[in-house]
Amino acid sequence: MCAKLEAGDYSPTTELLTRIMSQRVVRYSDHRHEKTLKKIVDKADAFSTEYLPARIWAPKTATKRESTLPVLVERAGSAAQFAWEEFIYGKIRNPHTRAAYERAIRRFLDHCHGLSTPLPSISPRNVGTYLDGIDYAPATKKLHLSAIRHFFDTLVTRHVTMLNPAHSVRGERLQVMEGKTPEITIPQARRLMQSLDSSHAVGLRDRAIIAIMIYTAARVGAVASLRRGDLYDVGDQYCLRFAEKGGKSREIPVRHDLQQFVRAYLSAGEMEYANKSNPLFCTTIGKTKKLTHNGMTAGDITRMVKRRMRDACLPARLSPHSFRVATITDLLSQGVPLEDVQNLAGHADPRTTRLYDRRNRKVTRNIVERISV
């Protein structure tokens, strides 16, 4: 049977079944069973071809755009190609920043390619007209300009271009006084916590995750990356060690009720004495409420929080980042110094912490309500 499968056309189904049989997980000695299995293979292949996108089955190198060089970079020679790989894959370590910068640079280079402008001949005018032509928010335009500037810095260093055409281009003036993330109110956060079912490990896990985001102001990505060893006892209390943006690590004390939530989850999930390298928060097997050994991703946590918020009848616009806004605003409202709140939030600049402050919005609401007309 294995020989028959290998001799046929490639498909993921036949490859999988061949691997299974080669490992002797399933043995077929009867010819009738071989025919039955062959029919299953054919039907599965027909289903995958008709109903599943072709990109799922195609080799990754054939469908990933990032594996190919932009036309202008490829035509500019080996030095430009080296500069591209150096900048995209060598200088940018954060995967989200890398993806955003690569999209911006590719779009700009496609724009210049449409104008038949080679890479060394790109001018400040090309950069300016490109920024004027894209229908993006000012913050996104600033990101595009920053990506183009840094990329051409690398091209200048590698002697691909003489000058950086983006250095003299001014971006749009942008002054942000308040962030766009919606705030979850204190009553809403309490209602969400009270709505969680704590009779099983999954409910205890979700309660612990949400409580960590509320009581530490941690980002969802930092919570997802927590390992069992990141929760540790320092004598009189527990602490959580978060790996934050920019490679920074910060240690946050665990308050008493949060400690109870986390320990209850670890006890229910039989993880109190787990290996320190294991994920702290694990996924489940379907709807069985049984935990696996696989760690939750930031996307998993976001979907879980949105689902829990929907079950608690909270607004759909809220997100996990709303907890961070609520915590920072609440502490500043109580008179906690900005520097202390900044340290808790892990911000390098206090101006970033102020973007999360929603107290001014409440003051403005009180003023407009007093208008006599």
Which pLDDT tens digit goes with each residue over 206-235?
999 999 999 999 999 999 999 999 999 888
- Give me the count of residues in the chain: 373
What angle do the packed helices 298-311 and 186-195 form, to 10 degrees? 90
Region 119-142: what's the mean pLDDT?
A: 94
pLDDT for 10 beyond 50:
no
What's the Rg (C-alpha) of the chain?
Answer: 27
Global pTM value: 0.66
Region 13-20: what's the mean pLDDT?
A: 50
Q: Tokens for 197, please give them.
A: 């079912």
pLDDT for 58 beyond 50:
no
Tens digits of residue pLDDT in 290-345: 899 899 999 999 999 999 999 999 999 999 999 999 999 899 989 989 888 888 88
Tens digits of residue pLDDT in 160-185: 999 999 999 998 876 655 667 888 99
What angle do the packed helices 256-268 and 201-216 form, to 10 degrees? 150
The answer to whether 202 touches 192, Cβ cutoff 8 Å, is no
Instruction: Give backbone dihedrals phi and psi of 250, rounded to 5 degrees, phi first.
Output: -135, 150
Q: How far apart are CA 226 and CA 244, in angstroms?
A: 11
The answer to whether 57 touches 12, Cβ cutoff 8 Å, is yes
Q: Tokens for 104, please give them.
A: 């911006």
What pLDDT, on a 0 to 100 scale, did the predictor assign at position 56? 36
DSSP 283: E
The answer to whether 294 touches 282, Cβ cutoff 8 Å, is yes
